[in-house]
Amino acid sequence: MRQFELTNEYLEWISEKIEQRDATAVRESLDGVNPADISALLGELDTEDSKYVVDLLDREVGAEIIRDLEEDTQADFLKAFTAEETASYIDIIDSDDAADILNTLPIKDREEVIANLENDEKANNILDLLRYEEDCAGGLMAKELIKCNINWTVVQCIEEIRRQAENVEKVYSVYVVDDEDHLKGRVSLKRIILSDDKTKIRDIYTEDLIAVETYMHEETVATIMRKYDLEAVPVINVQGKLVGRITIDDVIDVITELAEQERQLMSGISEDVEEDDSVWVLTRARLPWLLIGVVGGLVGAQIMGVFEESIAAIPAMAFFVPLITATGGNVGIQSSSIVLQSLANKSAFESGFFGRFAKVLAVALINGLALAFFVWLLNVVLGEETHISFVVSTALFSVVLLASFTGTITPLLLDRFGVNPALASGPFITTANDILGLGIYFIVAHLLI
Amino acid sequence: MRQFELTNEYLEWISEKIEQRDATAVRESLDGVNPADISALLGELDTEDSKYVVDLLDREVGAEIIRDLEEDTQADFLKAFTAEETASYIDIIDSDDAADILNTLPIKDREEVIANLENDEKANNILDLLRYEEDCAGGLMAKELIKCNINWTVVQCIEEIRRQAENVEKVYSVYVVDDEDHLKGRVSLKRIILSDDKTKIRDIYTEDLIAVETYMHEETVATIMRKYDLEAVPVINVQGKLVGRITIDDVIDVITELAEQERQLMSGISEDVEEDDSVWVLTRARLPWLLIGVVGGLVGAQIMGVFEESIAAIPAMAFFVPLITATGGNVGIQSSSIVLQSLANKSAFESGFFGRFAKVLAVALINGLALAFFVWLLNVVLGEETHISFVVSTALFSVVLLASFTGTITPLLLDRFGVNPALASGPFITTANDILGLGIYFIVAHLLI
């Protein structure tokens, strides 16, 4: 339970020791520290110094550190290692993480590392996993798992656990298979401990087991594991043979990644970027949505151009353009966000189309009336001309109604056509509603003045 | 491995059977079906029919279904049960979930249910847990866990597991305590199975253990469990005594809840709402941010009012207002979103203030120049007057620079002052940038025309 805190003082001290290549001091000060904490320290060092530190540590600790690095850092870091060195770490990393690491290496390096693996079973497992797409169950699973034959006794099973346990970091359940390796069920360690040695697995295993198939999308796997509260799920191939196991930590990564992707879509960022990416990558991720917004703005300018004479005659007309467009955008985003949430947590049956829209309409009516009244009141207080106040409030009310409708329908349509509906809560819906709002405003003005 | 799909045909059939109160047909058709799937079915029935179904099922299955209901549905559903009936379910639900359920009940009902519990230990555990805030480690933890004394042998430990295992659904590790119940470490089931019966726990346990304290915030707990890849974490009180255990499924709920909260903040929704909440709740959650946006728009109108004469003279000036405000908003949201991501994944040390802003500036310069040039080009093609094109592009460039700056600094400031920085990626930053953009546009226009 050693607590470790990465203070500035400690960083200065250890940096000095590393610079002096004081192996004893560095090794002693990091002894027993959790690999995740050492990783944070390495984040502050350059590649050469990091490699020096990792070389000093136990191979197991080093392997864990390398495994947990972010993808970009990992690829850079491994360039400092020879194929033999990399292979010695890969040899003790679980096959799923090993395959992920090898996926980041150039093909030539990858082959060299695999050729250098001492553990032939690991090499075969990795080659197996590299065949799968990264975002399906096959790409998430590890080959390491503990299985036993349905015809064995508890003591044979424990024998097998003893044999396999060295490779399997966390044992949740022992999977039960028949002679052809078809998955039949599972038996928990708890059950094994509590059973008599001579008991047949056949008599204590449970068939009550949820499995996923190799081709399933990672999002589906995450949903299933959350729904059924599973900490591990076996993976079977199309013949029902047990081929791997997915653990909950991989799925947490999937869940947080999906949330992050969604946030970026909502913010109008088109690639998975982070603050420490290069200026070029950051610009490339941001410019496309900005351009779409700009094009929307220019369309807006064309619409206003049609009403040039009215604006010249009553410039106050133009004053309320930002109010109208901003409200349209805000209402649209809110509406699409609520629909998105329903889409994410959808139950087996969708609530009726009609009921949904009746409610959207009701909320929009109340919001629209409240905002229109509020603006009308403020305009009266501020001494705005009566007919302009009337036009603004009428247009505002119409914009709230229409933006609620488009905000609700857009994610539903995108989802129906297989596009990620989160797209509808970003600049896309704002831009659309800006143009819509402008159109409504000037049409209302045209009709009422 | 029974697959269950909730088809419309099945729903129709079972609804009919339920209506006819055909107990045999209902019970048989749901036998062996996973509780999570039965929950989805109940979502389609009214409270009375749901209760009829739950009453037909095994108590364990019913308990699991009640546990997994959404909070609102749960409270409504339990109204159909007497205190005795509710207590009979609470008796077999883990203490953490039991406390959560009791928290949704009116105090009087809660007391009655607790008085009706048959399991006194469970009652005490629940009373213990009800004392903690829901969003701290104490409120997340369950009292059910398996612990053994450091001085025992493996066979004594297995004896104890046998005794305690009935109450503990999932065993990950056995926690090791001393005579005063102070947490000393853990020993895995794997290790126990592989050890000789006579071995002392003292000789096989590991001190290498991460624990959290009761008062820690749920977000901190989630971060720790993710960082160290833990499937369960023991909870200790200030004296270091073992008081409970948090499992990964509770933390997944925390992670998804936080992501949902953040999305709502970004969309300008001020409460945790869902599509099936009432019209009133939905309106109340949405109106505040809409009003802020409207006030921003009225401020914008006042700013434009200052330039009334210029707009009357050159109405084309007003045409580009939506372009400027939309771009300001988009750039601001993008910038704050990137900072938010860094704040969420922050490493122990923050990257330098200067380096961060140099990069923000570089990205803003490139984006600003690209957009300004693009708009200028289109304006030339569309035959806009030269000096207006020039003003628009200059203002657009300035807005991109300034919005990048405010978008970056706002979440950092909010975070510094302890406010949720995600607030900065919603209507707040859009509204601020709208006003900012308008100001810049007309000042530039004033200077250049």
Report CA A383 to chain centroid distance, whole Å. 51
A267 and B349 within 8 Å at the Cβ level: the answer is no
| Three-class DSSP category at B147 | strand
Instruction: Decide if B355 contacts B443 (C-beta within 8 A).
Output: no
Residue to mutate among A330, A382, A399, A401, with most B CBs inside 10 A, is A330
Q: How far apart, in whole angstroms, are the C-alpha atoms of residue B411 and residue B335?
A: 9
pLDDT at residue B351, as a whole number: 53
A301 and B322 within 8 Å at the Cβ level: the answer is yes
A330 and B268 within 8 Å at the Cβ level: the answer is yes
Q: How far apart, in whole angstroms, are the C-alpha atoms of residue A182 and residue A209?
A: 13
Residue to mutate among B144, B159, B208, B298, with most A CBs inside 10 A, is B298
Q: Which residue has the tokens 């603004």?
A: A392
**A283 vs B264, B325, B363: nearest CB:** B363
Q: Which residue has the tokens 């020039």?
A: B390
With both helix axes pointing from N to C terminus, report the angle between B386-416 and B321-344 in degrees, rounded to the nearest 10: 30
Residue A413 token pair:
């349509």
Chains A, B: CB contacts within 8 A come to 366
Residue to mutate among B39, B187, B190, with most A CBs inside 10 A, is B190
A194 and B356 within 8 Å at the Cβ level: the answer is no
HEC string for B205-237: CECCCCCEECCCEHHHHHHHHHHCCCCEEEEEC
Q: How far apart, in whole angstroms, are the C-alpha atoms of residue A369 and residue A293?
A: 29
Residue A319 to residues A411, A434, B233, Cα–Cα distance (Å) = 32, 15, 58
| Three-class DSSP category at B153 | strand
Each residue's pLDDT expressed in tens, for chain A with a length of 449 residues? 445 667 778 888 888 999 999 999 998 888 888 888 888 888 778 888 889 999 999 988 999 889 888 777 788 888 889 999 999 999 989 898 999 899 888 888 889 999 999 888 889 999 989 889 888 999 999 988 889 999 999 989 888 887 777 667 677 788 999 999 999 999 988 888 888 888 999 999 988 889 999 999 998 899 888 888 888 899 999 899 999 999 888 888 888 888 888 888 888 887 777 777 788 888 888 888 888 888 988 999 889 888 888 888 888 888 999 999 989 988 988 888 888 877 766 543 345 667 777 888 899 999 999 999 999 999 998 888 888 899 999 999 999 999 999 888 888 888 888 777 877 777 788 888 888 899 999 888 888 87
pLDDT at residue A315, as a whole number: 86
The helix, strand and coil proportions of chain B, stated in percent and rounded to the nearest 5, come to: 65, 10, 25
Nearest chain A Cα distance for residue B212, angstroms? 11
Residue B144 token pair:
């059910």
Task: Please list every residue in chain A whose beta carbon sits closer than 8 Å to the beta carbon of residue B400.
Answer: 290
What secondary structure does DSSP assign to A237-264, as a single string?
-TT-BEEEEEEHHHHHHHHHHHHHHHHH
Predicted model pTM: 0.74
Q: Which residue is closest to A9 within chain B, CA to CA?
A: B349
User: How many CB atoms within 10 Å of residue A10?
Assistant: 14
pLDDT at residue A1, as a whole number: 43
Beta strand A173-177 pairing with A183-188: antiparallel
Residue stretches of chain B with pLDDT short of 70? 1-5, 166-167, 169, 344-353
Q: Which residue is closest to A292 within chain B, CA to CA?
A: B327
| Three-class DSSP category at A186 | strand
- Which amino acid appears at position B310 of this protein? S
B318 and A334 within 8 Å at the Cβ level: the answer is no
Residue to mutate among A341, A353, A371, with most B CBs inside 10 A, is A341
Nearest chain B Cα distance for residue A242, angstroms? 13
pLDDT at residue A215, as a whole number: 92
Q: Which residue is closest to A297 within chain B, CA to CA?
A: B323
pLDDT at residue B4, as a whole number: 63
Task: Please list every residue in chain A whose beta carbon sits closer than 8 Å to the beta carbon of residue B242.
Answer: none
**Strand boundaries in B48-172, DSSP class E:** 147-149
Instruction: Decide if B161 contacts B130 (C-beta within 8 A).
Output: no
- How long, in residues, is chain A? 449
Nearest to A307 by CA among A320, A295, A296: A320
| Three-class DSSP category at A229 | coil
Q: How far apart, in whole angstroms, are the C-alpha atoms of residue A127 and residue A209?
A: 28
Nearest chain A Cα distance for residue B208, angstroms? 5
**With b meaning 16 or more CB within 10 Å and e meaning fewer, what string describes A123-160?**
bebbebbbebeeebbbbbbbbbbbbbbbebbbeebbeb
**A331 vs B263, B290, B431: nearest CB:** B290
**A425 vs B8, B267, B339: nearest CB:** B267
